[in-house]
Structures are given as C-alpha cells and as structure tokens.
C-alpha cells in the first residue's frame, strides 16, 4: 500500500493519471460511436450481428461497409496509434521527476490536441485542421520521449 500512496503524493503523477484516464476514456468513446453508427445505419461486419436486425436475405444486405462507419474506425485507430504511446512514454516521463508546470503543459496540450483531432476527423473539418491536431499531439509525445531518454538513458 505504502508505495501506491507515495506515488500519489507526487502531483506530477496525479496529473499524469488524470490526463491518461481522460484520453483513454475519449478513445473508448469511439467504440460507442462506432456501435451507434452501425446500429442506426444497419451496417454490420458479422452475420450474427446482422441477423438481429433482419432475417435471411434481409440480414445479408446489412453485411456491408459504410463511409461514415469507416471514418469513425479510422479515427479510433488513429487514437490507438497516438494515445497509447502517450500513455506509455508519459508514464515513465511522469516518474522521471519533471517540473510540474512543464509536465502539466505537455499533458494539457496533448489532451486538447486529441479532442480537437477527433472533432476535425468526425465533422469533418477541411485540412489541415486534422493534420494539425495530429501533429501537435505527436510533438508532445516526442518531447516527453526526448526528456526521458536525456534524463535516464540506460542502454
């Protein structure tokens, strides 16, 4: 117990835990959005899902792809590709005793950029909105990685 309590005396670690939880919840929200589009538009990938909404030939008709569903899925995959490295690198960054102000700046910009990225992807906003959202988040993670490698490199 003691170790856990101790880690949580660190404000940097608490900030990391808060923002990591927020961006992971945002990523999980994509599953719900995908399910919502699949059910309202009757667009399914599995025969057993389509069977719930129709029988025989009717069910087969629903086994298709839809451009909006694919858009949400691409957005979800982009979250996986970017949010997970943030959580992994952010964890060791948070444990490398960074300055609280600098750490908060990293976490806040990342969370903001990913929320903006999702809005830009799903609206969709004209480019380069989405590219910018992606790039800022990417830069934050690279900046944390640089700090980690610089402060504790052990090859």
Give the relative orientation of helices 67-95 and 11-41 as an angle to the nearest 10 degrees.
170
Residues whose CB falls within 8 Å of the CB of residue 138, separated by 6 or more in sequence, listed in order: 82
143 part of the interface to a second copy, by CB under 8 A? no
Size of the site for a second copy (CB under 8 A): 69
Q: Which is nearer to a second copy, 41 or 128 (CB)?
A: 128
Angle value at C-alpha 152, between 149 and 155, nearest 5 degrees:
75
- Distance CA(99)–CA(94), nearest Å, equals 9
Q: At closest approach, how far in Å is the CB of 10 from a second copy?
A: 5
Out of 84, 105, 119, 122, the only residue in the binding site for a second copy (CB under 8 A) is: 84
Integer-rounded Cα Rg, in Å, for the chain is 20
Out of 59, 69, 72, 89, the only residue in the binding site for a second copy (CB under 8 A) is: 89
Out of 40, 56, 57, 127, the only residue in the binding site for a second copy (CB under 8 A) is: 127
Out of 54, 66, 68, 85, the only residue in the binding site for a second copy (CB under 8 A) is: 85
């Amino acid at each position: 117990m003691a170790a856990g309590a101790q880690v949580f005396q660190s404000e940097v670690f608490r900030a990391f835990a808060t923002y990591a939880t927020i961006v992971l919840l945002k990523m999980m929200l994509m599953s719900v959005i995908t399910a919502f589009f699949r059910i309202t538009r009757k667009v399914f990938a599995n025969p057993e899902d389509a069977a719930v909404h129709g029988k025989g030939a009717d069910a087969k008709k629903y086994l298709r792809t839809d451009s909006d569903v694919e858009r949400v899925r691409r957005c979800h995959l982009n979250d996986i590709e970017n949010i997970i490295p943030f959580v992994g690198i952010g964890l060791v960054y948070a444990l490398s005793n960074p300055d609280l102000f600098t750490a908060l700046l990293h976490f806040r910009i990342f969370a903001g950029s990913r929320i903006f990225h999702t809005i830009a992807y799903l609206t969709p906003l004209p480019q380069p909105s989405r590219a910018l959202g992606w790039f800022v988040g990417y830069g934050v993670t690279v900046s944390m990685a640089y700090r980690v490698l610089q402060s504790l490199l052990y090859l």
